[in-house]
């Protein structure tokens, strides 16, 4: 643990638990294993059955806990504990020391999404005391902010163990409002290989920056077309597929024809619109309209592609029993859709119906002085216990 903290009480409040979780610097570039060991020790001390699964590198860990009987079925609560960096951000206090002020709790990950995980862990003693007939699963995953490898590894482990829940709630910040759908996302790194030469003799070289710029121009045109022609799905903001180029680089100095360039881009597609089809469309356009002129000068020139992110979309039906359950427990009369991605798409693809509902606002995530309202944590605490009472009744006494 990065900061000295008081010994955790046997039955801590959610704020006390969050204080400990924020104290671990689990920025995605770091290992999360100290935090996972802390959470596992706490759960085991209350008799909770736990399992672990690991990243390919072995330095990151998922935790799968089953509060109640260690069997398949029941419902899962899912949260990641990796966070975005604080590098270059100006904080009013140490981002890895939870600070309470005016009903708000400040700290990296407090909103996204250690607050939800803290609420789940703090609820464990109460849930164990309920003698549940079916399990309340708890998924704590790694690398959600980067590759989402953790959720994929967890699904493989569930398939191997046979301990899958019937449904899942992902506690991403939604102000405790049920979110039924989010867009699918594919992110790609595009590299361009040209041919170097002196800028006074452009015919003897292949300008990689020009080629990249030509591709990006076609991407911008496609983004405009989608905004006008759709497809459109109401409830999303914006209600159509979007395309974005986030970074672009290339070249060395002005009088050398650049032999290399690179850009990173993404598609965020509404349900029913396949981001992989859009990706194939771009590659076909480049192969037909840009690469031939490059390769006429030097056959070694051209484009290469690397998929660096692939998040399936999520779409739970309004008529699904999980929708009705979460609406009843939260008291919400409406549901929503969001453009950001979650691990829910991976769970849904694995056959687990999933909804997003968690404390805090996504507007507070990733920012300096990230915070979550204590009132949101209080609402989440009540939500978890009410969910267990409604869905997982007590087992009969022997």
Calculate ∠ Cα 146-152-156, nearest 5°: 160
Where is 38: in which H helix or E strand? helix 33-45
Closest to 98 measured CA to CA, from 378, 370, 394, 398:
370
Q: How far is CA 103 from CA 15, 156, 159, 162, in A?
A: 11, 40, 42, 42
Could you give the dihedral angle defined by the CA atoms of residues 353, 356, 357 and 358, in that order, rounded to the nearest 10 degrees? 130
Half-sphere exposure of 312 (CA within 13 A, CB side): 16
* 340 burial via Cβ count (<10 Å: 0-12, 13-18, 19+): middle
Radius of gyration in angstroms for the set of CA atoms belonging to the chain, rounded to a whole number? 24
Alpha-carbon span 392 to 66, nearest angstrom:
12
Chain mean position to CA 285: 31
Closest to 250 measured CA to CA, from 237, 259, 240:
259
Task: Find out whether 203 and 358 touch, Cβ atoms under 8 Å.
Answer: no
Phi then psi for residue 7, to 5 deg, are -60, 135
Tokens of 233: 């799905």
Active site residues: 82, 144
Residue 364 DSSP code: G
Alpha-carbon span 389 to 130, nearest angstrom:
8
Q: How far is CA 93 from CA 35, 82, 99, 211, 366, in A?
A: 22, 20, 8, 46, 15
Task: Find out whether 223 and 240 touch, Cβ atoms under 8 Å.
Answer: no
* 41 burial via Cβ count (<10 Å: 0-12, 13-18, 19+): exposed
């Amino acid at each position: 643990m990065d900061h000295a903290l008081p010994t955790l009480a046997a039955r801590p409040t959610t704020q006390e638990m969050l204080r400990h979780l924020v104290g671990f610097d689990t920025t995605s570039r770091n290992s999360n294993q100290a935090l996972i060991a802390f959470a596992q020790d706490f759960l085991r001390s209350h008799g909770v059955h736990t399992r672990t699964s690991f990243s390919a590198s072995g330095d990151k860990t998922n935790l799968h806990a089953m509060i109640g009987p260690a069997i398949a079925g029941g419902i899962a609560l899912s949260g990641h504990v990796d966070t975005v960096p604080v590098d270059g951000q100006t904080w009013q206090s140490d981002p890895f020391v939870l600070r309470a002020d005016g009903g708000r709790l400040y700290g990296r990950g407090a909103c996204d999404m250690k607050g939800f995980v803290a609420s789940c862990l703090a609820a464990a003693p109460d849930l164990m005391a309920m003698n549940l007939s079916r399990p309340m699963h708890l998924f704590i995953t790694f690398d959600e902010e980067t590759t989402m490898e953790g959720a994929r590894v967890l699904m493989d482990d569930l398939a191997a163990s046979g301990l899958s829940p019937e449904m899942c709630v992902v506690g991403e910040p939604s102000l405790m409002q049920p979110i039924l759908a989010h867009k699918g996302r594919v992110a790609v790194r595009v590299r361009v290989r040209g041919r170097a030469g002196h800028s006074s003799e452009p015919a003897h070289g292949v300008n990689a920056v020009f080629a990249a710029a030509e591709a990006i121009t076609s991407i911008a045109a496609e983004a405009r077309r989608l905004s006008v022609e759709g497809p459109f799905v109401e409830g999303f903001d914006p209600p159509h597929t979007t395309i974005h180029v986030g970074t672009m680089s290339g070249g060395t100095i002005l009088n050398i024809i650049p032999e290399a360039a690179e850009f990173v881009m993404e598609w965020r597609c509404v349900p029913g619109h396949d981001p992989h089809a859009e990706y194939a469309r771009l590659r076909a356009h480049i192969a037909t309209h840009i690469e031939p002129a490059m390769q006429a000068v030097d056959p070694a020139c051209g484009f290469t592609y690397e998929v660096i992110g692939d998040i399936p979309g999520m779409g739970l039906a309004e008529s699904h029993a999980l929708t009705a359950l979460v609406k009843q427990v939260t008291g919400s009369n409406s549901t929503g859709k969001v453009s950001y991605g979650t691990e829910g798409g991976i769970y849904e693809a694995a056959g687990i119906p999933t909804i997003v509902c968690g404390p805090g606002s996504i507007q507070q995530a990733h920012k300096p002085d990230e915070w979550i309202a204590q009132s949101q944590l209080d609402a989440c605490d009540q939500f978890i216990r009410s969910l267990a009472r409604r869905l997982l009744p007590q087992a009969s006494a022997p």
